[in-house]
Amino acid sequence: MKILGISGSLRRESYNTKLLRAAEELLPAEVEFELYDGLKAIPPYDEEDDGEDAPESVTALREAIAEADGILIATPEYNSSVPGHLKNSLDWVSRPLATNTLRNKPVVVVGASTGAFGAVWAQAELRKVLAAIGARVVDAEVAVGHAPTRFDDSGRLVDENLLSDLEETVEALTDEVRERSLFALTNIRS
Ligand SMILES: Cc1cc2nc3c(=O)[nH]c(=O)nc-3n(C[C@H](O)[C@H](O)[C@H](O)COP(=O)(O)O)c2cc1C
């Protein structure tokens, strides 16, 4: 099983990226994890640039999603919503709508913010967008509020309650992936 982690923050010291690293450590050893690092190269969506000759950065993201069995997105909240570049990247991935690589893909959304609420509004909006794209959005949430107090100096998540929430969430994602592969297998055989 392969899980692709996508951070909605581009900065090196991002709490959301640290949250994904914490999730990686909670995954069973047999699960492969890749942290996607190509989001910054994705241009603003332009329908005229889409299709066969879509930008390489876009094709790379579409393919990375296609190759993964499940997706884990950690999003910050920008002005009570999803960061523009993350939404923009998902707009690219959403096309062509019927065959986009997120369709039926199990996805979990988590989030961290420096404010009190842990990006809950951004997470909710992101789930709505992902559902519109056709992803299988797993019903789980981790909200890391006051992020600077939840990680130690080496960037490790140290809050026991959040670690436990994150473990449950990661498990919900891997369970969903297993269920989907079982379902696919049953369908092939029948
Ligand atoms: C443009 C911008 C808008 C922000 N808006 C919000 C917000 O609406 N709610 C919130 O809790 N934090 C907000 N913040 C603070 C972020 O939670 C904080 O920068 C956080 O560290 C971003 O996540 P990162 O550490 O993964 O980069 C905003 C930050 C920026 C740069």
Which atom number of ligand 1 is nearest to the Cα of residue 116? 11
- Which residues fall within 8 angstroms of residue 46, CB to CB, at 6 or more apart? none
Which atom number of ligand 1 is nearest to the Cα of residue 79? 8
Which atom number of ligand 1 is nearest to the Cα of residue 13? 25
User: How many structural domains does the chain have?
Assistant: 1
Q: What is the DSSP letter of 100?
A: -
Which atom number of ligand 1 is nearest to the Cα of residue 7? 26
What distance in angstroms lies between residue 101's CA and the mean position of ligand 1's atoms?
Answer: 28
The pLDDT of residue 190: 64
What distance in angstroms lies between residue 138's CA and the mean position of ligand 1's atoms?
Answer: 24
CB 86 within 8 A of CB 44: no
CA distances from 35 to 2, 3, 6, 80, 148 (A): 11, 9, 6, 25, 21
Q: What is the DSSP letter of 147?
A: G
Q: Is 42 left (phi over 0), alpha (psi -120 to 50) or beta?
A: beta
**R_g over Cα of the chain:** 16
What distance in angstroms lies between residue 95's CA and the mean position of ligand 1's atoms?
Answer: 28
Q: Which of 6, 78, 79 to mutate to test the pocket of ligand 1 (most atoms within 8 A of CB)?
A: 78
Domain that holds residue 77: 2-189
What distance in angstroms lies between residue 163's CA and the mean position of ligand 1's atoms?
Answer: 21
CATH code of 85's domain: 3.40.50.360
Q: Does pTM surpass 0.85? A: yes
Mean pLDDT, consecutive 10-residue stretches, the chain (190 aa), reads 98 98 97 98 98 97 98 98 98 97 98 97 98 98 98 98 98 96 75
The pLDDT of residue 187: 75
Q: Residue 25 is encoded by which pair of tokens?
A: 């450590």
Q: How far apart are CA 31 and CA 28, in angstroms?
A: 6
Label residue 1 exposed, middle or buried (CB < 10 Å: 0-12, 13-18, 19+): middle
